[in-house]
Structure 1
Amino acid sequence: MTAKAKYQDVLDLGEALNIKDGNVTEENGILKVKGEAKTQYEKNLIWDKIKEIGGEKPTDILANITVADTSVYHRHTVKSGETLGKIAKHYYGNASKYQAIFKANSDILKNPDVIYPDQELIIPNL
């Protein structure tokens, strides 16, 4: 199995995330991946997928993923039924971090219990 075939799920994820300036080459069994993610969260998704496939320190892939917007962790569009706690749990693994999201969006949110579908929220770097 070629390295490209092995890491096809990583390449598919990069495509789904619209990674900019993507470049993939394979040399001597090593897959070289380059591109720019919109946010740190998206970069982390790519790296998590790489580690899921290749282990904690894979030797058959070299990835150089940069981040376009380092001022935020991510930008999230609220879906029906979501709460700040659910959003915080998704991004930070801890629902009680909802306060950081509320504070970062205090210009559009007046109450942490009231958010609406299609609002775009800043998910701050912690």
Structure 2
Amino acid sequence: MPTLDDFKKKYESVLELIPKNNVRLDHLHVANEKLVMTGAAPSEKIRNKVWNQIKAVDPIFADLQCEIAIDSSLPEPIRTYTVVAGDSLWRIAQNHYGNGALYPKIIAANPGKLKDDKSVIHPGDVLAVPED
């Protein structure tokens, strides 16, 4: 009979993804030889991200019962990026979104640091880079 530690090892990548995406994990236990996981995600997009990781571990997840609700009071995760020499807002957007023209998303996410497309960034600056 699998133990909680056995399930934690199997679904390790899922359990690592949960806190990084501000998913609240309310219960994690074993019942009827299944890992039972309940919690809440800040958005449908984040809930889907968790489910996609579950399916990457085990496409049929027959040993898992997972219920993740949406709780919009939970904050969306904030991804940060530390500027390196040679970076520009365009280059950062290109690397994160696959489209440099989306750099205004980075400006909007950093109102205390960036005013507009003429804002200067320096190596070592830490910028919020919203998920796409």
Global fold match (TM > 0.5): yes
Does the aligned pair in 2 maintain the 1:10–1:49 contact within 8 Å? Answer: yes
2:106 corresponds to 1:119: no
2:92 maps to which of 65, 73, 86? 86
Q: Deviations over 1:2-57 (max 9, x none)?
A: 472432332244356675444212223432212345677765553332121122x6
- 1:101 aligned onto 2:101: no
The one-letter code of the counterpart of 1:76 is R
Contact 2:80 2:127 in 1 (8 A): yes
Could you report, residue by residue, the CA deviation over 1:90-113 in whole angstroms, capped at 9, with x for unpaired residues?
3x4544322223234345313446
Structure 2 distance, partners of 1:109, 1:75, is 16
Which residues of structure 2 form unaligned runs of 5+? none
RMSD: 3.9
Alignment of 1:1-126 (within 5 A): 2=2, 4=7, 5-14=9-18, 19-36=23-40, 43=47, 45-55=49-59, 58-61=61-64, 62-64=66-68, 66-67=70-71, 68-69=74-75, 73-81=76-84, 83-84=88-89, 85-86=91-92, 89-90=95-96, 92-112=97-117, 114-116=120-122, 117-121=124-128, 123=130
Instruction: Flag the 1:102–1:18 CA change in 2: closer, same or farther, 3 A.
Output: closer
Distance in 1 (CA, whole Å) between partners of 2:41 and 2:95 is 22
Given that 2:41 and 2:68 are in contact with CA atoms closer than 8 Å, whether structure 1 keeps it comes out as: no
Structure with max Cα Rg: 2
Are the structure 2 counterparts of residues 119 and 12 from structure 1 closer, same or farther at C-alpha, using a change threshold of 3 Å?
Answer: closer
Q: For 2:102, give the aligned amino acid.
A: K
Q: Aligned partner of 2:121: which letter? A: I
Paired residues in the alignment total 120
SS of residue matched to 2:79: strand
TM-score with structure 2 length normalisation? Answer: 0.55
For residues 66-118 of structure 1, the C-alpha deviation after alignment (integer angstroms, 9 at most, x for no partner) is 4512xxx542333132654435643x454432222323434531344633535
TM-score with structure 1 length normalisation?
0.57
Tell me, in whole angstroms, the C-alpha distance in 2 between the residues paired with 1:17 and 1:28.
28
Distance 1:25 1:16 in 2: 20
For residue 46 of structure 1, what is the amino acid of its counterpart?
V
